[in-house]
Structure 1
Amino acid sequence: MPRRVNPQRPRRYGRLGWVVDLLDRWRVAARGAGAADTAELTRTGADLLARWGEPHRHHHDTRHLTAVLDVVDAYAPAAGRPDLVRLAAWCHDAVYDPRAGGDANERDSAALAGTLLARAGLPADAVAEVRRLVLLTAGHAVDPGDADGSLLCDADLAILAAPPETYDRYAAAIRREYAHVPEPAFRAGRARVLAGLLALPALFRLPPLARRWESPARANLTRELAALSLP
């Protein structure tokens, strides 16, 4: 049985220990997916960590990466190729520009994944699969039977099911990432995002996560959406 996971409870380390742990997790996943354990593999992981640590990130940072990886690790038996899901987790927000439109960040992250993973020596079919998985996080619409896509998207959306006070900190962090957007435009855009999530047939696909997280996630989304309409 998978262990229970708090949807947004990053591990507690000193900064250096956290970085070392994440780099170790990167190397283990990449080796498991077929990459050679070379200096290039470490450089690639360090490049990704630097991206996740960019100063304009307030939610899409190493804490989010860690939280996603923790869910993937906990439910890895549900996936067909869990190491590829882990690598997709590493790459899915590797490019994050709040000023970009549409799915540009996901497309650019998928392209970067292709470059970095090929450089690290990953087989071509594995690179293509990681790119596919990263692109799924643009809309979180996953085909039935896509176990790897389900695990990645469920892990990415886990914060939605956090306790209300944690969810509110997440929503505030998103607002800080979009500080350049005037309040009326932000409210309208954020409302479209929330409505789109609520319109999904299911936010979570893996049965144990759906049972635990679907209801609190929809409650959080509905509550934030209602608050956006207040004066």
Structure 2
Amino acid sequence: MENLVEGFRDAARQAGATVGDDDLVAAAGYLLQRWSEPQRQYHTVSHLQAVLDVVDQFGQLAPHPERVRLAAWMHDAVYDPRALGDANERDSAEFAEGLLSTLGVPDGNAREVARLVSLTAGHATEEDDPDGELLCDADLAVLAGDDDAYGKYTAAIRREYAHVPEADFRAGRAQVLKALLELPSIYRLEPLREQWEERARRNIAKELEG
């Protein structure tokens, strides 16, 4: 956890935060509490760490990796499995801009982090948006896992939606998966696409067949 907190503090500083280190550490702790809420089964600290690991590995592909790191921290800061549509992403984006503003991050950077967060609703980016592409690719990295990792992912998602009847869950899940397959490519950044695209599409197709 200490490394996570230090990473948040460093990214916030790089984005222009003006408050003291104690306030940045407190903000990171508050976010980790959110990521540890009991309704979460997949969207947990482990998912946050996994997204940040990808951002760290491929950060050189983005012009503003500190913004992407902050967006990773914020992208599921608000998470309610019972929320409708893209409410979680909208609320997380609004939350991100507000929190970063209280930490003294300049308005332009806070707005940009909020914009990045909002992209995770549909994982569709405009052309020439490498920051957004890195965040979305990192968020979807789990789709390219091996059989064991992918199985654990889908099981955790089902537990998050335990309140949804099986038939309804399958229909909603299929809609999400088909939308991913309809994207020109699941991963936008070339190095990630080369590594993960084929495996991710195979995993999704197998899940849909099941």
Q: Which residue of 2 aligns with 1:46?
A: 29
Q: Which residue of 1 aligns with 2:163?
A: 180
Asked if structure 1 preserves the Cα contact closer than 8 Å seen for 2:15 and 2:109, the reply is yes
Amino acid at match of 2:135: L
The alignment partner of 1:144 has SS state of coil
Query: How far apart are 1:37 and its partner, in Å?
Result: 4.9
Identity of aligned residues (%): 56
Q: 2:119 aligns with which of 108, 118, 136?
A: 136
Match of 2:175 in 1: 192
Contact 2:96 2:110 in 1 (8 A): yes
Give the count of matched residue pairs.
209
The answer to whether 1:70 aligns with 2:53 is yes
Match of 1:33 in 2: 15
Using the size of structure 2 for normalisation, the TM-score is: 0.98
SS at match of 1:140: coil
> TM-score, normalization: structure 1?
0.89
Residue 77 of structure 1 and its aligned partner are, at CA, apart by 0.9
Offset of residue 139 of structure 1: 0.2
CA contact (8 A) 1:48 1:94 kept: yes
Offset of residue 133 of structure 1: 0.2
Comparing 30-39 with 153-162, greater Cα deviation is found at 30-39
- State the superposition RMSD in angstroms: 0.8
Instruction: State yes or no: 1:167 paired with 2:128.
Output: no
Residue type at the aligned position of 2:82 = R
Runs of 4+ in 1 over 4 A off after TM superposition: none
For 1:32, the aligned partner's letter is Q
Specify the code of the residue in structure 2 equivalent to 1:92: H
Counterpart-to-counterpart distance in 2, 1:214 and 1:75: 16
Contact 1:33 1:122 (C-alpha < 8 Å) held by counterparts:
yes
Residues 133-164 of structure 1, C-alpha deviations (whole Å, 9 max, x = no match)? 00000000011210100000000000000001
Residue 61 of structure 1 aligns with an amino acid whose one-letter code is T
**Could you report, residue by residue, the CA deviation over 1:150-190 in whole angstroms, capped at 9, with x for unpaired residues?**
00000000000000111011000000000000111101111
> Match for residue 63 of structure 2?
80
Q: Tell me, which stretches of 5 or more residues in structure 2 are unaligned?
A: none
Task: Please name the residue that 2:203 is paired with.
Answer: 220
Q: 1:208 offset after TM fit, Å? A: 0.7
**What is the CA distance between 1:60 and its match in structure 2?**
0.5
Residue number among 166, 188, 192 corresponding to 1:205 in the alignment: 188
Give, in whole Å, the separation in 2 of the partners of 1:124 and 1:115.
10
Does the aligned pair in 2 maintain the 1:35–1:120 contact within 8 Å?
yes
Structure 1, unaligned stretches of length 5 or more? 1-18
Cα pair 2:19 2:104 within 8 Å, conserved: no
